[in-house]
Chain A
Amino acid sequence: MKYVADRTGRFPKRPHYERAELDQECERIIIEFMRQQCGGFSLPIPTDALTKLIEKDAEDLDLFADLTDEGHDVEGVTDFQPKRKPKVRISQTLSSHSNEHRLRTTLAHEYGHVKFHDFLWQLEAADQKLHPKLARETSPKCNRQRILDAPYTDWMEWQAGYVCGALLMPVTSIRNATGRFLEAHKLFAPIAATSQQAGLLIGIVHKDFGVSRDAARVRLMKLNLLTATDLGPQLL
């Protein structure tokens, strides 16, 4: 991680993580946590493991929060607090209506804020630049469209979105799953995202990792296992 200028103006400087750094750290976090708390690592990662992981690092997790006043389509909020752990609120519409995939991605996304962004608010608090009201106002409110794949310019949402994919689809596991698929179909990566084979691979990731097809596609694209470029026939 290194610090770079924060062009959003939210902080004087902001953390920049390489994708590989986030992949390694998220894989380590989820594997270690599941070994300690769930009797071992397994896929798909249970939703209960995600809630317990958040509860380990947050002061509170409200799974049935009323977020109607937080803005259009807001499904997750991480409330940072000076000198205290953050509080996470998840919209009751996700938890109540069996939107399991969206619930899982939102939980993993908010964990990204808890784990990788809380220290920024604590640094501000240590400098006496932050009071509780301001901390609450500047805390991320995450709407549905940006949970998985925010634009890179919105670095905080982009990082939380990357963490979301890296937690639910740990890098080694998804690379192994893709490797087996490529070998079985005599293909090599990256596969054109619009191809029939890509659809099959997305289906495998969707099923094995307990994520939506959209989340699977975004993760495979970010790892350059799928590409938006049309590559033509790829048989070896």
Chain B
Amino acid sequence: MSDDALSFGRRIAKRRKELGFSLKEVADRIKKGDGKPISPQYLNDIEHDRRQPDSEHLIEQLAISLKIPLEVLYYEAGKLGDSIRNPKASEDQIVNAYKAFRRTLRAPGK
């Protein structure tokens, strides 16, 4: 199975195993907004695509801990990420951005 076919959860699980971390070791590193770590069960559910991370903060921490480009995780999670949003963007700009995004993704991969 190629990387392109991985879901958000399977990508997280695959990368965690490649890095030699256990579920608990990664869960201990991912902190919620209140500074407490997420539970191994929550991470297990994410890895098995039973849940999605409920905040961009968690996605960012997963990206850092597992050394996955943040953009890849945002893409797999179906989110844009706050840094890409521009409240002043016109409708045309948004449509053109999506066209460019789609064109790039449909081009043959390198």
Interfacial residues, chain A to chain B (CB-CB below 8 A): 37, 48, 51-52, 55, 60, 62-64, 92, 95-96
> With contacts A51-B23, A63-B44 known, what are 13 further pairs, Cβ within 8 A?
A37-B20, A48-B24, A52-B22, A55-B17, A60-B13, A62-B48, A63-B40, A63-B41, A64-B40, A64-B41, A95-B40, A95-B41, A96-B41
CB distance from A206 to the nearest CB of B (A): 23
CB distance from B7 to the nearest CB of A (A): 13
Interface of A is mostly: helix
- Determine the distance from Cα of A92 to Cα of B13 in the docked complex, in whole angstroms: 18
> Do residues A48 and B22 form an inter-chain contact, with CB atoms below 8 A?
yes
B45 within 8 A of A: yes
User: Chain B residues near A55 (CB, 8 Å)?
Assistant: 17
Interface of B is mostly: helix
Interfacial residues, chain B to chain A (CB-CB below 8 A): 13, 17, 20, 22-25, 40-41, 44-45, 48
* 21 pairs, CB–CB < 8 Å, chain A vs chain B: A37-B20, A48-B24, A48-B25, A51-B22, A51-B23, A51-B24, A52-B20, A52-B22, A55-B17, A60-B13, A60-B48, A62-B44, A62-B48, A63-B44, A64-B40, A64-B41, A64-B45, A92-B41, A95-B41, A95-B44, A96-B41
CB distance from A208 to the nearest CB of B (A): 22
- Determine the distance from Cα of A55 to Cα of B26 in the docked complex, in whole angstroms: 15
User: Chain A residues near B45 (CB, 8 Å)?
Assistant: 64
Q: In this complex, what residue of A is CB-closest to B42?
A: A64
User: Chain A residues near B25 (CB, 8 Å)?
Assistant: 48
Q: In this complex, what residue of B is CB-closest to A37?
A: B20
User: Chain B residues near A52 (CB, 8 Å)?
Assistant: 20, 22
CB distance from A169 to the nearest CB of B (A): 21
Q: In this complex, what residue of B is CB-closest to A50?
A: B22
Most buried by B among A37, A48, A64: A64
Q: In this complex, what residue of B is CB-closest to A90?
A: B44
User: Chain A residues near B40 (CB, 8 Å)?
Assistant: 63-64, 95
- Determine the distance from Cα of A96 to Cα of B44 in the docked complex, in whole angstroms: 12
Q: In this complex, what residue of B is CB-closest to A48?
A: B22
- Determine the distance from Cα of A51 to Cα of B44 in the docked complex, in whole angstroms: 12
State whether A64 and B17 are in contact (beta carbons under 8 Å apart), knowing that A48-B22, A48-B24 are contacts in the complex.
no
User: Chain A residues near B23 (CB, 8 Å)?
Assistant: 51, 63
CB distance from A44 to the nearest CB of B (A): 16
User: Chain B residues near A64 (CB, 8 Å)?
Assistant: 40-41, 44-45
CB distance from A84 to the nearest CB of B (A): 11
- Determine the distance from Cα of A60 to Cα of B14 in the docked complex, in whole angstroms: 10
